[in-house]
Amino acid sequence: MAVEAATSSSEKNAKAQRIVAAMRESVGAKGAAASTFDEVAQRAGVSRGLLHYYFGSKEKLLVEVVRHDCEIRIGELRGRLEQAATVDELVNVMLAGFEDFVEDQAALIFELFTASRHNPEIRGEVGELYRSVRSTIAEALTEKHDEGVVSLRADADSVASIILALGDGAALQMLSEPEWDATDSIATGVAAVRFLLGE
């Protein structure tokens, strides 16, 4: 009986994860408005009713997408920042994170931000995502400051906030104008980050 319950729970989790992944893919490709339960059910290979059973509403499913992205992004970022032992390595970690963000997450995050303007629950999760990322960067910068790797020009939370703002602003411009060559602007952003880190 316990084995059957565990198997059932495992199958349920696998289906729920498939649904979350399908919603994430749909929002990234078509936008939040066009990501209907019918669309997501088809992508996930499950019935529309199963989406209602697991999540209740499209908004609750979008919240799960934000939570899932938050867990992945924070985990990866924390590990990379902890391993960085020089300013160059820190900058390279942040630059790689920015490139991954533009490639894989920015469109989704911006879509969810738009949806959050009309839904307090989604807004809360998007806000928590930013708080968590900012806190992860700030904690890493504090540690690197204490180790003598960097010499921050402002408090760690403020520096982390500005680094995020630089990344979001550049990503928004790159997504809005795909033909734009952002090379020089990104180099300027990197120089600004180096300045904030005390170089």
119, 61 Cβ separation under 8 angstroms: no
Total structural domains within the chain:
2
What would the DSSP string read from start to end of 147-189?
A: TTS---SS-HHHHHHHHHHHHHHHHHHHHH-TT---HHHHHHH
Check whether residue 67 and residue 78 sit in a common domain.
yes
Check whether residue 168 and residue 139 sit in a common domain.
yes
User: 3-class SS at 33?
Assistant: coil
CATH number at residue 136: 1.10.357.10
User: 3-class SS at 59?
Assistant: helix
* Of the residues 56, 80, 96, the one at which a domain ends: 56
What's the pLDDT score for residue 142?
96
d(CA 175, CA 21): 22
Q: Of 7-11, 37-41, 42-46, 162-166, where does mean pLDDT reach its minimum?
A: 7-11
Highest mean pLDDT among 5-9, 15-19, 141-145: 141-145
> Residue 8 — pLDDT band, cuts 50, 70, 90?
low
Give me the domain span that covers residue 130.
Answer: 58-196
Say yes or no to pLDDT of 187 above 90: yes
Encode pLDDT of 135-169 as tens digits: 999 999 999 999 999 999 999 999 999 999 999 99
CATH number at residue 43: 1.10.10
d(CA 36, CA 96): 32
What's the pLDDT score for residue 145?
95
Check whether residue 37 and residue 50 sit in a common domain.
yes
Beta carbons within 8 Å of 51's beta carbon, 6+ residues apart: 19, 37, 40, 41, 44, 61
Check whether residue 83 and residue 164 sit in a common domain.
yes
